[in-house]
Amino acid sequence: MDEDVVVWDDSFIVGYALLDDQHKKLVAMTNELIRGCKEGGAAAQESFGQAFEKAAEYAKTHFADEEWYLTHVLFPDLESHKKQHHKFLFDVVNLANEVESGNTAPIEMVRFLKNWLLNHIAVSDKQYAPYMKKIGRTGLGTLL
């Protein structure tokens, strides 16, 4: 399962310290979930459950912060970005229910989280980085 560990890569940097730090923390939390899956039996369930709740709450905070910034810089694709966040949260709740009912293994959920997170940062979040840098040069960058 070591191949499941997420390795932060500078290619994920969007160029704004707060958002980059939050992305790094989400990666660390994903790795914590992976470690929780490696534990056996009841310890794995408890560890996974606690780590998942922390990660889900932190993701909501990050999404709110990111959307706030994108709103204030008038990012033209904000609605699409918000929809991605909402769909992710919806999918995570459904997967969590599947894990809790025993229909899905925790590691499958972690793989979903890892793939979504890395793809979202590397593709979707990277789309706003050039726009925010351009806006920053016009004086709105002080928000960041």
Query: Is 90 exceeded by the pLDDT of residue 138?
Result: no
**138, exposed or middle or buried, with CB in 10 Å at 0-12, 13-18, 19+?**
exposed
DSSP code at position 5: S
Look at 19-28, 45-54, 88-97, 109-118 and tell me which has the smallest mean pLDDT: 45-54
pLDDT at 139: 45
29 vs 4: which has the higher pLDDT: 29
**Over the stretch 25-69, which tens digit does the pLDDT of each residue have?**
989 988 888 877 777 666 666 767 777 888 888 899 999 999 998
pTM as predicted: 0.81
Query: Is 50 exceeded by the pLDDT of residue 1?
Result: no
In the chain, where the domains are located: 18-143
pLDDT at 41: 65
* Average pLDDT, integer, range 74-92: 92
Homologous superfamily assigned to 18-143: Hemerythrin-like (1.20.120.50)
pLDDT at 118: 86
Residue 63, SS3 per DSSP: helix
* Average pLDDT, integer, range 73-81: 91
